[in-house]
Each structure stands twice: as C-alpha cells, then as structure tokens.
Structure 1
Amino acid sequence: MFSDWRNNPTFPFGELVAVPARHPLATFFHLFFRVSAIVTYVCCDWFSRSFVGCFVTVLLLLSFDFWSVKNVTGRLMVGLRWWNQIDEDGKSHWIFEARKVSPNNTAATEAEARVFWLGLIICPMIWIVFFFSSLFSLKLKWLALVIAGISLQAANLYGYVLCKLGGESDISKVTASFLSQTVFQTASPGDLQKPGLEGLEIHKH
C-alpha cells in the first residue's frame, strides 16, 4: 500500500520535503536527457563516424534519463514514485508511493503534470518507431541500442502508470483506465486531478 515517503528511510531523497510550487529545473531535466538521447541517435552520423562513441553516448543519456525520472522528476512533478524489490524468498515486488498533501508540501502544477506525462508517453513511442525503422532498413547494429531505449523508458512509463492508478496489476485494465483519464483531463483541463496525491498506501505486487 502507499505511504508518505518522509517516514520511509529507504527513500534516498526522504529528507528533501520542502517542495516549491514550481519545479522548472526538474521539468527541464525531465525532458533534457530523453530528448537529447533521441536527437543524438538521429544526428550521430552527422557528427561522428564512431559507432561505439555514439552508442555509448546515447546509452549514457538513456541511463541518466531513467535514473532522474524514476528518482527525482516523478517525485517533484507529480508526487509519485515506484521501485521494484526482491524479498528473501526471491519474489519480485512492485512498490508504489504517493506524496500526502500537507500545508508544507505543495502539489505539482497542472502544467508540470502534463509535461511529465506527455514526455513519459511520447518518447517511448518514438523509440518504437526507431525500432521498426532500424529493422526494415537492416541497420541491425543499432537494434540493441533501440531496444535499450524502449526498455528503459517503457519501464518508467509502466511503473508510473501503475503508481498513478493505485498499483492495479491488470495491465489491460490499467491501460483502459489511464487512457480514459487522460482523454477526460485533456477535454476538461480545469478539472485535472493531481495523480495520487490523496495519501494513498504502499502496494506490493
């Protein structure tokens, strides 16, 4: 179930509870690494003939993006976080948390929430396009990098969608519910609900 992370010593940023009303730096880095990885992948042949150099650069950008979105920007921009842990029996558990609303803990703005979810959804779709492009053009040496991009960004998307919807494990139900919420929020921006900010409990799956 969900809990307030300030009481959870396992959260590496548990002491950073003074959240400002707006987070321009977090918003910038939420998009910077993932957009930079895409731009570098598309333009690397123009700037360098070294496949290894391009491969490593894009992979590093993808890794920085995965870490920053999972540990920092999701926490600041939408008040959500997730992680996966292995128990003593070797079972894998997904754990989801949402920040509790308090007078000293300001919720993310609607604009930040929109930027967060749009960046989280659109970029993996672009990497899927790159996958089919590389496959059909027989640029097979890039497939490993494209698959890494899809895997890292899809993992964050999957984790945050589950977290937003309260840890629902049925992925078909998750997808339908998430899309219906997104359509409704787009049609009625004034009624946009801040995801998962009602003091939910930690859920394990």
Structure 2
Amino acid sequence: DNEFWGHPIASFFHLFFRISAIIIYLFCDWFSKSFVACFVVIIILLSCDFWSVKNVTGRLLVGLRWWNQIDEDGRSHWVFEAKKISPNKNSSTEAEARIFWLGLIICPLIWTVFFFSTLFSLKVKWMALVIAGISLQCANLYGYIRCKVGGKHVISTAASSFLGQHFIQRV
C-alpha cells in the first residue's frame, strides 16, 4: 500500500537488523551453544544496521544524513545535513519518520539495559558485544540528532532562546 508507505523496504530494514540483533542476543543459547558464532552473527547484524541506517534509511525515511570528511590537510570534519521539508508533506512520511525515530531511540535504551544486566550478571564475556551495540546505536542516534537540530551553533541558540523565554515567563 504505497499511499501509506513511501519506502516500505527501507522501513522494514530499519527495524529488521536492530530487532534481529536484540532477539539473537536474548535467545542465542537456543540458537547455538557457540559463544563465538552468536557474537559474530550479532556483530554482523549490528554493523548492517549501522550501515543501513546511516546510509539508506535516514536519507529515505527522514531526509537526514551525516558523514565524516577528511580535508586536504588531513583534518577530520563531521557533516550533518537535513533535506528541506516540502510543504506537501504527507502522512506516509510522518509514519515512516515515527518508525525511524522510535527505532533509533528505543534500541540504544535496550542495549543500555543489556549493559547493566551484563554488568551485574555472570555474562561478563558478553560485555564487549553490548558495548559495541551501544556504541553503534548511539553513534547513529547522535548523528541524526545533530542533523535534526543543525549542529552546535543551532543547539546553543535554541538552548539560550528557550532559557530566555522561560526567564521572561517567570518574570
């Protein structure tokens, strides 16, 4: 139903790799007794998720993208872009944007819960995997938040504007 979903395949893969990694992490003992096999499969799923969200689904579902660029002097520059929103934005874009942001926010929270459960349990050997999950998920979340709000200057301007309005309302 293309009237509601503009990019159904992108929406599917936005959630597929993330949810698959979480499910395999939770039930890996059922799938295999090999720690290494589970570890490798989950890392591959997390890597596929990171790549697809950063390079495909962010661009298609919400019109945002970010990347690192090295200039001629060898200095690293981070670039955060947001596509201008068209006035005829329809509900399919809004539904896909909700899916995008919910997946982007909820999954790092789940990996953070895994971190604390791993920290306080006997599954310490999984700590490197959980930290990799948090790192990859949070890197995308951070990149897309920077794209959405427009970088440090916009963040500080928005914060000072908010504080100014809050102060004026109090007075």
Q: Identify the TM-score tier after normalising by the shorter chain.
A: 0.7 to 0.9
* 1:93 aligned residue: 77
**2:109 paired with 1:125:** yes
CA contact (8 A) 2:5 2:96 kept: no
Give the Å deviation of 1:25.
0.8
Runs of at least 5 residues in structure 2 that lack an aligned partner in the other structure: 163-171
Amino acid aligned to 2:70: I
Give the TM-score normalised by structure 1.
Answer: 0.68
Q: 1:46 aligns with which of 27, 30, 33?
A: 30
Give the Å deviation of 1:99.
2.2
CA contact (8 A) 2:11 2:99 kept: yes
Change (3 A) 1:106 1:170: closer
**2:105 paired with 1:114:** no
* 1:37 aligned residue: 21
**2:62 paired with 1:78:** yes
Distance 2:154 2:122 in 1: 36
Amino acid aligned to 2:54: K
Distance 2:77 2:91 in 1: 27
* 2:169 aligned residue: none
Higher RCO by CA contacts (8 Å cutoff, separation 6 or greater): 1
* 2:147 aligned residue: 163
Mapping for residues 123-162 of structure 1, pairs under 5 Å: 123-162=107-146
Identity level (%): 73
Distance 1:120 1:85 in 2: 23
CA RMSD in angstroms, aligned pairs only: 2.8
Give the TM-score normalised by structure 2.
Answer: 0.81
Judge which range, 50-59 or 92-101, deviates more. 92-101
Change (3 A) 1:21 1:126: closer
Amino acid aligned to 1:22: G
Runs of at least 5 residues in structure 1 that lack an aligned partner in the other structure: 1-19, 181-205
Equivalent position SS for 1:109 = helix
* 1:23 aligned residue: 7
CA contact (8 A) 1:83 1:96 kept: yes
Largest Rg, 1 or 2:
2
Give the Å deviation of 1:63.
0.3
Residues 70-123 of structure 1 show CA distances to partners (whole Å, capped at 9, x for unaligned) of: 0000000000100012333343211012224569x9896111111100000000
Aligned length: 156
Amino acid aligned to 2:60: L
Equivalent position SS for 2:68 = strand
Change (3 A) 1:144 1:84: same
